[in-house]
Structure 1
Amino acid sequence: MKFGLRHYLRSYFAPQAAVLMYHRVAEVKSDIWDITVSPENFEYQLQILQQSGNVISLSELTGNASKNRLKSGNIALTFDDGYADNYHFAKPLLEKYKLPATFFITTSNIGKKTEFWWDELENLILFTEHLPTFFSMNINGEDLNFELLQEAELTPEQQQINRNWKACEETPPNMRCAMYLKLWQTLRPLPQKKQQQELQKLRDWAGKAISPRSGYESMTENQLRDLSRNPLFEIGAHTVSHAALGFHDITFQEKEIRENRNLLRDITNQPVDLLSYPYGHFNTQTLQAANQTKFKAAFTTREEFVKNQTEPLQMGRFQIKDLPPEKFSAQFNLVQRWC
């Protein structure tokens, strides 16, 4: 009984570190997944993080955890996907405050004027001014039917409702939002080629051609190469096509991870030893694929602290939202208190 209590106390008071997850640093009209931080708020957040004196590189944090040398209060910063705004806005601010960060890069859109599929879908369904009144289509073997009725014409009031919706925590406030969420859920498990085939059916239905918006593109090879030259920054893997890995067999998963890593190595001439799972989606075969490709650590989207005993291929992170200084400081102090 004494051993059990001692073991519990040791576990409860064990050193803990936090990995913070960003995606975009930009000014956008809509952010339904709550993944974008404005440059102004991002700089305030970095000021608070710098003052803490606890920000270290992700490689150092994971290395300490693997050697049972983790220090409480340590924090590492990560960015997922590889949006070009990471280069234009996040990079100079991180350099200004001399804070290290890891950028997990999806490679299929590098250097292309192409939006990620979820961004295009959001714009297509939520913000197209005129849509057909009825939607009836088979998407990936599932018959989907929606009656947009008066929502087919996008009013300023309707547009504002759609912009303010937070899909990750709120139920859809109208039919357009419900349609978007269902289509997102249906498209997410698909491989990229199939996603694009189904997206083309949606474009045809909406009468919209592919028209990538400025500000939604990924970094170019030169930008990625320049980013990697700064010793503050390291590049991590994030699959070729941002695949939801757990929906696919191990051969597909390993190919997505390996080809992504190889291209990033070729572009940056740097080691790529860290991986993050797109959407935080993984299964036992994903862990097997990550192990077979010899990644030192891999990251989910589960809001969990990193401890010395944390499984290296299932490390958690805390998503950071577009919080002003006071709210971010309160959240940061809470995280620090538990670290």
Structure 2
Amino acid sequence: MAIPDVDIWDMAVSPENFEQQLQVLKAGYRVLPLKELAERVRRKKLRCNTVAITFDDGYADNYVVAKPLLEKYNLPATFFVTSGNIGTEAEFWWDELEQLFLFTDELPQTISIKIAGTLVEANLGQESILNKELHSLHRQWKAIDEPPVSVRSRLFLQVWQLLKELPPQKQQHQLQTIREWVGTPQSIRSDYRSMSVEQLQELAKNSLFEIGAHTVSHVALGYHPASYQKQELMENRSYLEKKTNRSAATLSYPYGNYNSETMALAADLGFLAAFTTEEKIITNHSSAYQMGRFQVKNLAAPAFESRLKYWSLYC
């Protein structure tokens, strides 16, 4: 929500632009709670120009910035929450990894580390020192759309992909190895923390908002056995429902990663619907456990409205 100094995944939206986006939605679209949208799909009663607003992970800015603006415009939203970080100071591993590789002032010139059976090696050369030009290059880089812009960024992407596939204990073990290579302690930055338990509970008190499941540890579900996937989903939902006294009826797959076992589990566990990161419009023929979503970038009202109209062409 609040724009961080760096946004390589192009996911942050400024409060000013978010408010403009809400104004567009309020004026011209039917904004529904996600649960109602999913139920309408099941009954094949979904109409065009229907929108649901979602947030993933459970960052504190969802509560601090998004909640008041959604309340101001009386618009519903669903917050898919990764429960393992709630009430802790810990950053998500990908945020710390980004800081370590892309923005540490000085790194050792070479690295050789084995991750999940893959040997990762690199010689940073002159990039071991983060000068102004390299810092600026990394700040402007959009990893979601662009190829790596430096040796450091190529190394970051390779390690990010390998770590994404691991269970959380192994992720943290590898991250500690990287911290030791860098020579820095674990990162704790307030701008990257998740909601507190109290913030989560306060969010859930408002009937405008739904709390959805997003696993305990933000695992890429499709890389893991069905038994582990089930544990992550059940423990996450149990925690959320216990803390909020609200049902977690919907699920968002972390990273948008899932497989046929994941979808079967979502159905068996009684989730009403599950959402991917695949950019496809939801229709009355959408699969309940493969529902698409569109990533909204940091767009002011005119550009945002243009994107909405483009997406609506497929309705």
TM class, shorter-length: over 0.9
Using the alignment, how far apart are the partners of 2:24 and 2:314 within structure 1?
A: 17
Offset at residue 158 of structure 1 (A): 0.5
Deviations 1:17-74 (CA, angstroms, capped at 9, x unpaired): xxxxxxxx01201111111111111111111111114111111111111111111111
Asked if structure 2 preserves the Cα contact closer than 8 Å seen for 1:36 and 1:321, the reply is yes
Query: Which residue of the partner structure matches residue 177 of structure 2?
Result: 201
Using the alignment, how far apart are the partners of 2:293 and 2:94 within structure 1?
A: 22
Task: Confirm or deny that 1:26 pairs with 2:6.
Answer: no
Task: Confirm or deny that 1:217 pairs with 2:183.
Answer: no
Query: Which residue of the partner structure matches residue 98 of structure 2?
Result: 122
Q: Tell me which amino acid in the other structure corresponds to 1:57.
A: P
Query: Which residue of the partner structure matches residue 52 of structure 1?
Result: 28
Offset at residue 326 of structure 1 (A): 2.1
Provide closer, same or farther for how the CA distance between residues 265 and 87 of structure 1 changes in structure 2, counting only shifts above 3 A.
same
Using the alignment, how far apart are the partners of 1:96 and 1:182 within structure 2?
A: 42
Deviates more, 1:115-124 or 1:69-78: 69-78
Task: Give 5+ residue unaligned stretches, structure 1.
Answer: 1-24
Deviates more, 1:46-55 or 1:269-278: 46-55
Q: Tell me which amino acid in the other structure corresponds to 2:46.
A: L
Offset at residue 231 of structure 1 (A): 0.7
Query: Which residue of the partner structure matches residue 303 of structure 2?
Result: 327
Deviations 1:202-239 (CA, angstroms, capped at 9, x unpaired): 00000010131111000111101110111100000000
Query: Which residue of the partner structure matches residue 52 of structure 2?
Result: 76
Q: Tell me which amino acid in the other structure corresponds to 1:208.
A: T
Asked if structure 2 preserves the Cα contact closer than 8 Å seen for 1:140 and 1:198, the reply is no
Query: Which residue of the partner structure matches residue 18 of structure 1?
Result: none
Using the alignment, how far apart are the partners of 2:185 and 2:276 within structure 1?
A: 35
Query: Which residue of the partner structure matches residue 314 of structure 1?
Result: 290
Q: TM-score, normalised by structure 1?
A: 0.91
Using the alignment, how far apart are the partners of 1:270 and 1:207 within structure 2?
A: 43
Task: Confirm or deny that 1:299 pairs with 2:275.
Answer: yes
Task: Confirm or deny that 1:240 pairs with 2:213.
Answer: no
Using the alignment, how far apart are the partners of 2:186 and 2:12 within structure 1?
A: 23
Asked if structure 2 preserves the Cα contact closer than 8 Å seen for 1:130 and 1:154, the reply is yes
Task: Confirm or deny that 1:111 pairs with 2:53.
Answer: no
Task: Confirm or deny that 1:173 pairs with 2:173.
Answer: no
Asked if structure 2 preserves the Cα contact closer than 8 Å seen for 1:79 and 1:102, the reply is yes
Query: Which residue of the partner structure matches residue 161 of structure 2?
Result: 185
Deviations 1:163-203 (CA, angstroms, capped at 9, x unpaired): 11111111101100000000001100000000000000000
Asked if structure 1 preserves the Cα contact closer than 8 Å seen for 2:60 and 2:195, the reply is yes
Q: Tell me which amino acid in the other structure corresponds to 1:170.
A: E
Deviates more, 1:305-314 or 1:237-246: 305-314
Task: Give 5+ residue unaligned stretches, structure 2.
Answer: none
Offset at residue 308 of structure 1 (A): 1.3
Using the alignment, how far apart are the partners of 2:83 and 2:156 within structure 1?
A: 25
Query: Which residue of the partner structure matches residue 11 of structure 1?
Result: none
Deviations 1:311-338 (CA, angstroms, capped at 9, x unpaired): 1011111110111222112112222343
Q: Which has the greater radius of gyration?
A: 1
Q: Tell me which amino acid in the other structure corresponds to 2:148.
A: P
Identical amino acids, percent of aligned pairs: 49
Task: Confirm or deny that 1:43 pairs with 2:1.
Answer: no
Query: Which residue of the partner structure matches residue 252 of structure 2?
Result: 276
Task: Confirm or deny that 1:257 pairs with 2:227.
Answer: no
Offset at residue 138 of structure 1 (A): 1.4
Offset at residue 89 of structure 1 (A): 0.2
Q: Kindly report the root-mean-square deviation, in angstroms, between the aligned alpha carbons of the 2 structures.
A: 0.9
Q: Tell me which amino acid in the other structure corresponds to 1:264.
A: L
Using the alignment, how far apart are the partners of 1:144 and 1:257 within structure 2?
A: 31
Deviations 1:229-257 (CA, angstroms, capped at 9, x unpaired): 11100000000000000000000000000
Q: Tell me which amino acid in the other structure corresponds to 1:48.
A: V
Q: Tell me which amino acid in the other structure corresponds to 1:124.
A: L
Q: TM-score, normalised by structure 2?
A: 0.98
Using the alignment, how far apart are the partners of 2:187 and 2:95 within structure 1?
A: 12
Asked if structure 1 preserves the Cα contact closer than 8 Å seen for 2:29 and 2:51, the reply is no
Using the alignment, how far apart are the partners of 2:260 and 2:307 within structure 1?
A: 32
Asked if structure 2 preserves the Cα contact closer than 8 Å seen for 1:244 and 1:279, the reply is yes
Using the alignment, how far apart are the partners of 1:280 and 1:302 within structure 2?
A: 7
Q: Tell me which amino acid in the other structure corresponds to 1:332.
A: L
Using the alignment, how far apart are the partners of 1:137 and 1:280 within structure 2?
A: 27
Using the alignment, how far apart are the partners of 1:35 and 1:242 within structure 2?
A: 17
